[in-house]
Amino acid sequence: MLSLLGLLTGLLLLIVLTMRGVNLFILAPLCALLVAVTNGIPFWQVAGQSDFVHGYMNGFASFVSSWFLMFLLGSLFGKLMEHTGAADAVALAIINKLGKGHAVAAVVLACAVLTYGGVSVFVVAFSAYPMAVSLFKDANLPRRFIPAALGLGSVTFTMTSAGSPEIQNWIPIQYLKTSPYAGWEVSVVVAIFMAALGYGLLKKMINKAVDQGEHFIGRDSDPVVGERALPHPLLGIIPLIVVLLLSNLLHHSLQQAALIVALAAGVLCLYLLNRRFVQNLDKALNDGVTGALLAIGNTAAVVGFGSVAKLTPAFDQIVHAVVALPGPELLGAAVAVSVIAGVTGSASGGQVIALPEIAPTYLERGVDAEQLHRVVAISSGALDSLPHNGYVVTTIRAICGESHHNAYWPVAVVTVLVPLFGTLLAIVLFQWI
C-alpha cells in the first residue's frame, strides 16, 4: 500500500508543480527520489539491490543515447524551415487556399502537414504560432484556444499515424520488428476519425466561448506575419516529401537508422533549395541544437522518473493487473502504454518503458505485431498529454503565453480524449480484420 501511495504522490507532485512552472530537470529527479524513499529503494548502490541514482540515470541516459540524433536532426530541420521562411510559406499557402473564414481548420492543417513531413512537434508549434495569432485575430476568436488548435494538428492524428516520421511511430519498430506503416489500413480510418472528431469538438468549444462574449485580445508582443520575403511553398514542401519518402523506402534496409538518413537528407535538401532565404545560418543551427537538447532533456528527465517508478512493487502490480484485463489483448496493451505514458508525461518515454515489459507477453499470446504497433502508437498519445507533458507546458506557456487554467482544458479534449476514442476505434477495427 505504501508503495502505491508513494508512486501516486510522486506523480501528483510532478503534475502539480509542473503546472506551477517548476523546471523539469530539477523536479523530475526530486519526485523520483520521493518514490524511491517511500518504496525502500536505496539512494546509492547496495549489493543485490537496485538503487535510485543508477535507476534514474540509466533511464535518462538510455533514452538520450537511443534518440538524440533523431531529436537533433528533427530540430535542425524544423529550425531551418522556420529561419528560411519555408514553414511560413507552406502555412500561408494552406491559409490562402482555405480562406481566413476557416481559421481553425487552416491552423490544424498547417500543423498536420509540417508534423507528417518530419518537423519536430515542438518546432511545429513555434513555426505555426504567428500564423495562428494572425488568423484568430482576423476571425476575432478567443486566443486561449490556439494551443488546442496547434496540438490537434501536431500530436494527435499525424504524430502516431502509419508512415509518420515522428519518433512515436518509430519506437515500436525496435521491439516488434515491424515497419513505420504497420497497420496502415486501420491507421488511415482512425486518423480521419480523430481529425474530424477533434475539429468538431474544438469548433464547438470555440463557438460556445464566442456566444458567451469571448473574443480575441491582442498583445504588444504578438508576432507580425508577412514582414519578410518567403520562398515558394513548393520549396518548403519538397524537403517534407524527401523525409517521408526516404524514411519509408529505406526502412527495410536500414531499420531505425532510416529515420536518421531521411532527416539528414531533408536538412540538406531544405538548405540547398532555400539557402538564399537564410538570414543567419549560425543562429538557425544554434537554435536547432539548443531546441533539441531542451526537448530530449525534458523528455529524458521524466523518463528517468518512470525508470525509478519501474523499480517499485506498485509498478509491477499495475503492469500485471493491466496485462490480466479481460477482453481483447490489444485493450490491455493500450491501457498499459497509456497509463505509463501518463506517468512519464511522454508518449515516447511511455513506449520506451512499457514495450520491453509488455511486448514479449503479448507477442507470445499470438497478438499480431503490426496491430500491436499501431495500437501502442495511438494509445501513447493520449494520457501522455496530462498537464506535466513537455509539449503541453512548452506550447501553453512558452509559445502561446497562456496559463494552464485558461488553455489546458481545450488541449485536454483534443489531445487526451480524442486519442482515447481513436485507440478504442483501432482496437474494434483490428478485431474485425
Tell me the per-residue pLDDT of 8-56, one tens digit each, with 9 for 90 and over. Answer: 899 889 888 877 778 888 999 999 999 999 998 898 877 667 889 999 9
Q: b or e along 325-346 (b: 16 or more beta carbons within 10 Å of the residue's beta carbon)?
A: eeeebbbbbbbbbbbbbbbbbb
Tens digits of residue pLDDT in 274-309: 999 988 889 889 988 887 888 788 778 888 888 898
Which positions ≥6 away from 271 have C-beta within 8 Å? 80, 84, 278
Give this prediction's pTM. 0.80
What does the pLDDT average to over 55-72? 88
| DSSP classification of residue 413 | I
Among all chains, which residue has been given the C-alpha cell 507580425?
224
Q: What are phi and psi of 49, to 5 degrees?
A: -130, 150
> Rounded to 10 degrees, what is the CA torsion of 368, 369, 372, 378?
-130
139-198: pLDDT as tens digits: 889 999 999 999 999 999 999 999 898 889 989 998 999 999 999 999 999 999 999 999
Whether 225 shows a pLDDT value over 70: the answer reads no
Instruction: Report d(CA 43, CA 52) in Å as an integer.
Output: 5
CB-CB neighbours of 399 under 10 Å: 18
Q: For residue 411, what pLDDT is reported?
A: 96
- Looking at residue 326, its amino acid is P
CB 222 within 8 Å of CB 133: yes
d(CA 331, CA 211) in angstroms, rounded, equals 39
Q: Where are the alpha helices (DSSP H) in 212-280?
A: 233-249, 251-254, 257-274
In 3D space, the residue among 227, 238, 236, 267 whose CA is nearest the CA of residue 89 turns out to be 236
pLDDT digits (tens, 9 = 90+) for 100-109: 678 899 889 8
* Residue 331 confidence class, pLDDT cut points 50, 70, 90: very high
Using the structure block, give the residue that is written with the C-alpha cell 518530419.
118
Digit-coded pLDDT (tens) for 357-393: 889 989 999 999 999 999 999 999 999 898 878 788 8
Give the pLDDT mean for 227-233.
81
The whole-angstrom separation of Cα 23 and Cα 298 is 9
Any residues with CB less than 8 A from the CB of 20 and at least 6 apart, and which? Answer: none
Q: Kindly give, in sequence order, each residue whose CB lies less than 8 Å from that of residue 315, ignoring residues fewer than 6 positions away.
A: 7, 309
C-alpha to C-alpha distance for 377 and 357, rounded to whole angstroms: 16
- Taking residues 217-245, report their average pLDDT: 80
Confidence of residue 227 (pLDDT cuts 50, 70, 90): low
